[in-house]
A and B are shown apart, each in its own frame.
Chain A
Amino acid sequence: MARRLARYHSIALLLIGWEVLARSGLVNPRLFPSLPSIGDELVQLFTTGIIWPHLAATLFRVIGGFAGATVAGVAIGFLMARFAIIGRTVEPFFSASYPVPRIAIYPIFILAFGLGHLSKVALVFLECLYPIAITTFYGTRAIDPVYVWAAENMGASRRQVLLRVVAPALAPYVFNGLRVALPIALAIAVITEMIGATEGIGYLVAYAAASLARAQVFAGVLVIAIVGFILDAGISGLRDRLVFWERPAASIGWN
């Protein structure tokens, strides 16, 4: 126990450093609120119920866009690898648009879909599509055809090959993509809400910053951090249950 706690000494040091600085009088306490006052504000966000509609809106956008991208990304990645003609048609489009900062087309989405959910869900969908489609593509290509032949030799139907051979072989790759994509989904939802929205946690913190409600800004940021952490823990937990036979690969995404 003591050793486990000792592993986190750096985080304790960071928190203590923050608190000392906040109380030292060297910095303006409005700009640098103490931890208890941020905690107070965090509790207030929940007890007054201000946070709930914003939290619900953000989660809806994250999960909606992410779920859509999972279905479409797996399908696109699989078809690209399975049928050469589709691969040749779609691949140049993917590799050319991959390094383009797609967030910049968000204003077009606002014009097309409005300030509500749809413009955010669409951008979350688009951003999540890339990692999921690409990992599925490589995963499909990495399936050893010997396994498929063996199954067919033993009389497996197409459906059985797909469900019993292809799906389990693909799952670890797909989960790598999902693990990269989910934090991106939250980041995109928050960014788009800061730029143009009427609800959502990103909107809440940007609004609080503009109206100089500083402690609320810090509390809101903390809520986003907690949501990000829970989402990541959730997808990792799901992965460990479903594809328990493969060790997770180190993934370096962005968010």
Chain B
Amino acid sequence: MGHVAISLYRSMAGLILGAGAGVLLGLMSGVSRRVAGFFDPIISLSNPVPKVAILPVLIVWFGISDTSKIVLIAITTFFPAYLSALAGVRQVQTPWVWAARSMGARPAQVFRKVVFPAALPQILGGLRVALALAFILMFASEAVGTAHRAGLGFLVIVAEAGGRWDLMLSAITVIGILGFTADRLLLVASRSVLRGRETSRG
């Protein structure tokens, strides 16, 4: 049980930090040309690069601690969250914004009542990608090196090295169940948030 808890802590902490920052900055880039001008070149240059490549750098900086795993997961999940929030704001129809403005809405109200709700389906789609990523990077970073000898990825690798294939297979199954359940929970949550709207099923 300790392995599950520590793995969930690492992946969820990284996801909340990374995807949270990604959605926030993506929304800001969507409404402000200046912010977009600053982040666009950085994102488009680093997006095709596998973010997991910096794991050894993080290990150099933070050791094989929880920090290096959480930072890696945060960096990786930032990208889909940022890109989907930006795309979500960009596809908001300008007449809706004009309509709200002409009915006397202040910019903050336009954002809260028009832009954000319209971007929400895309943001949730990006979060789904980010969630899947958090589990993949959790396993990868734990398999490469883990302090405190805890975590599901660590368990799989140790069980394999020790010839305990039964233990290895059950740990792999637990990872699969966690990933599957988390995804379904997010889907259910998205559907209830977006209730009554036209949405595409993924």
Contacts and interface: CB of A to CB of B under 8 A. Distances in A.
B140 A252 contact: no
B179 interface: yes
Interface stretch (B33-41, B98-106, B109-117): B33-41
A99 interface: yes
Nearest to B143: A195
Q: What interface size band does chain B fall in?
A: 35 or more
Interface of B: 37-39, 41-42, 45-57, 59-61, 76, 79-80, 83-84, 87, 125-126, 129, 131-133, 135-136, 138-140, 143-144, 152-153, 156-157, 160, 165, 168-169, 172, 175-176, 179-180, 182-184
A133 interface: no
Nearest to A226: B49
B35 to A, nearest CB: 10
Interface of A: 7-11, 14, 31, 96, 98-101, 103-108, 110-111, 183, 186-187, 190-191, 194-195, 202, 205-206, 208-209, 214, 217-218, 220-221, 224-225, 228-229, 231-233, 250, 252-255
A114 B144 CA distance: 18
B50 A190 contact: yes
B49 A225 contact: yes
A13 B129 CA distance: 30
Contacts of A206: 55-56, 144
Contacts of A100: 176, 179-180
A11 B42 contact: yes
A11 B46 CA distance: 11
A99 B57 contact: no
Nearest to B133: A254
B191 to A, nearest CB: 15
Contact of A229 (B45, B83, B138, B175): B45
A10 B39 contact: yes
A221 B61 CA distance: 14
A94 B34 CA distance: 42
Given A8-B41, A217-B57, A255 B48 contact: yes
B132 A99 contact: yes
B45 A254 contact: no
B183 A99 contact: yes
Given A101-B132, A194-B144, A221-B56, A252 B80 contact: yes
B179 A250 contact: no
Given A111-B165, A191-B140, 5 more contacts: A10-B38, A101-B135, A183-B48, A194-B55, A225-B46
Given A252-B80, A254-B129, A104 B57 contact: no
Contacts of B76: 254
Nearest to A107: B160
Nearest to A233: B48
Nearest to A253: B129
Nearest to B37: A7
Contacts of B152: 104
Nearest to B140: A191
B21 to A, nearest CB: 16
A231 B184 CA distance: 33
A110 B163 CA distance: 13
